[in-house]
Amino acid sequence: MSTLHVLIRAQTPRAFDNNRTLLDGAPGVVVVSDGEARDVTLVDLTDGGPGPGLSPPGTGPVLYLVDGAATAGDFAKVRGASYVTDGVSREQLVAALRAVASGLTVREPSAGERSSAPARLSAPVSADPALTEREREILRLLGEGLGNREMAQLLALSDHTVKFHLRSIFTKLGARSRTEAVSLAVRRGLLML
């Protein structure tokens, strides 16, 4: 898995420490203090921040961590803002950070959507008959930002076999790139981020 460099911005030292502790234990994640070295910025607004009007911290991908459904509802109105609520697990937060770093927009389902869709960020790919079990597994790993070699090692496959499955996924989804495949899969409900 490629290393993800995360810059944390928080309203209070306690919130900063909580996020640092959470991410320090995550495999493949390095918390950085230099904004130039980051892949993505995590902005924690759980301790009463200024809300979606907060100017992004410099340039680059930003994921907002917000407090509960009321604040998330405010963020849903902000076009292009990626956010999750403070109820996500470490794995879900890391998956969201990786997705945002790769150029995707991440939004946790609202309360109304939660009844019909799981509120997990890295939920398994649904059982679409057009995709084989292995293709669904590789698509899920693709959504987590893994490279071909990492997928091959994780699934005990050869690099060539992973490439074969990726070509098949691209063909079935009508995608021309990894990012487009993930984006199409998310839009079609095959993959939850």
Write the pLDDT tens digit of every residue in 119-157.
Answer: 333 334 444 447 888 988 899 888 888 889 999 998 998
Closest CA to 166 of 184, 145, 143, 148: 148
CA distances from 182 to 92, 122, 175, 178 (A): 16, 12, 9, 6
Give the pLDDT confidence score for residue 36 in this predicted structure.
80
CATH architecture of the domain with residue range 4-114:
3-Layer(aba) Sandwich (3.40)
As a whole number of angstroms, the distance between CA 167 and CA 176 comes to 9
pLDDT band at 77 (very low <50, low <70, confident <90, very high): low
Q: Is 95 in a helix, a strand, or coil?
A: helix
As a whole number of angstroms, the distance between CA 78 and CA 53 comes to 9
Give the pLDDT confidence score for residue 52 in this predicted structure.
46
As a whole number of angstroms, the distance between CA 40 and CA 56 comes to 11
Q: Where are the domains of the chain?
A: 4-114, 133-187
Identify which has the larger pLDDT, 67 or 18. 18
Which of 1.10.8.80, 1.10.3720.10, 1.10.10.10, 1.10.357.10 would CATH assign to domain 133-187? 1.10.10.10
pLDDT digits (tens, 9 = 90+) for 5-58: 999 988 888 888 888 888 887 888 999 987 788 899 988 887 655 544 444 555
Handedness of CA 172, 174, 175, 180 (dihedral sign): negative
Alpha-carbon torsion, ordered 145, 34, 68, 48, to 10 deg: -170
**Average pLDDT in the 163-188 region?**
85
Quick one: which H or E segment has residue 146?
none
Identify which has the larger pLDDT, 162 or 71. 162
Determine what percent of the chain is predicted with pLDDT higher than 70.
74
As a whole number of angstroms, the distance between CA 183 and CA 40 comes to 19
